[in-house]
Structure formats: structure tokens, C-alpha cells
Chain A
């Protein structure tokens, strides 16, 4: 079965400090991995996906198949990064490719 694990419920850092939000997954096939973000009182929105290999708002995430991880990183945290972050997995292709979410990590960036 597919599973996404985010070990930290809360991550508190100071502004300017590096951030790493951990995500591990279990899936035997080739997954698609995503990071979603939910700012206070806003809807869930896509932050980035592994296949795009992009940097959004200074965040990057690399898929490590050997460690089955997809950690989200940012070198210098900003206060506006404070939000709930969800890692999600989707089976590649097919009509049943639904998103499986991790439990989420609340990132709090202190001034």
C-alpha cells in the first residue's frame, strides 16, 4: 500500500535559518511526488512536484528513490513561509491515480 510519512508535526525556525521538511514514502512502483501548502485561512495549493524539478518561492525538493524520500528545503526561511505543508504521492499514470497525503508539517517562522 502507498503511504506518506511526515515525521514532524511542527517545525519552528527563525527567519533566515535553513528549513527542511521531511517526507518519506512507501510505494513499490514509480510514484509522482508533490508538496502542497496551505496558508492560514486559504485553500490547499500545489507548491511543487518532483517531475518539474523546479524551485518555487525558494523551495526545492529532490526525489531520492534509494531513501524513498522527498524532503522540502529552503536555504533561508521567511516569515511568509509560515504555513501547513503536505507531502503527497500519486501513482504514476492510470485512471486511479489519486493523491495520498501525509499528515502535514506546520512550519512556523519566527521573526
Chain B
């Protein structure tokens, strides 16, 4: 149990376009999801905390208008990279925190999405 999926697993886009990444908790509900960014050979950097039904909380230095987050249901959060540029190329990882039972307060990670902006 407790599986988190991300779609797509990789995407290549042209500079200036927008890209949407989906994060789903497949078999549990998550009122809170987290979006991370990972550069090659570096750690996970928390970008924002996504709360179901409310606005996301962004970490310092992360542009909220650049990285739009929507958490419309207890199993889905989306990250949209608007007007993407080559410097946005990275590995984006989402994590969902369970709300009950065995998943309570534990974070489960998705497989990540590799974004390449040309």
C-alpha cells in the first residue's frame, strides 16, 4: 500500500511553454503533499507544501507565480511550471503525507519527473 505516482515520468518542452506534473496518492488520502526539486548529485530541496482545498505554502526563494500548485482533491496535487526556461530543467519529486491508519503522518514519495527545457 501507500503508493504515490507521478505523471509524466519525463517531459521535454520548448522554452516559454508551460508544463503540468501530476502527483497522485493511489491508495490513501493525503491532505498534504510536498513538492521537491533535486539537482544532479544534490539533495532534495523543498519547494512548496500543498494543502488540499487551500493555497500552497512556498519556501523562501520559490516563485509562486512560476510554480503553480493546485491540490484540488485528497489524492491529487499538480505542479505547473509556467513559461519554462532551461534553468527550470530538473528532477521534480512529490511526496504525500497520509492522514490515517498506517500512513498517518508518514511521507511517501513519488518516482519523480524529469523536466528538460530546451
Q: Encode contact with B along A79-93: 1 for CB under 8 Å, 0 otherwise.
A: 000000010000000
B44 contact from A9, A46, A96, A101, Cβ within 8 A? A101
A34 to chain B, nearest CB (A): 9
The range of chain A's interface size is: 10 to 19
CB neighbours of B95 from chain A (8 A): 44, 99
Q: Encode contact with B along A92-106: 1 for CB under 8 Å, 0 otherwise.
A: 000011111111100
- Contact in complex: A43, B46 (CB < 8 Å): no
A-B contact count (CB 8 A): 36
A103 contact from B4, B42, B105, B109, Cβ within 8 A? B42
B110 contact from A43, A96, A99, A100, Cβ within 8 A? A43
A55 to chain B, nearest CB (A): 18
A82 to chain B, nearest CB (A): 16
- Contact in complex: B34, A98 (CB < 8 Å): yes
B43, B95, B109, B112 interface centre (most CB from chain A within 10 Å): B43
- Contact in complex: B112, A102 (CB < 8 Å): no
> 5 A-B Cβ contacts within 8 A?
A43-B110, A99-B46, A101-B44, A101-B46, A103-B42
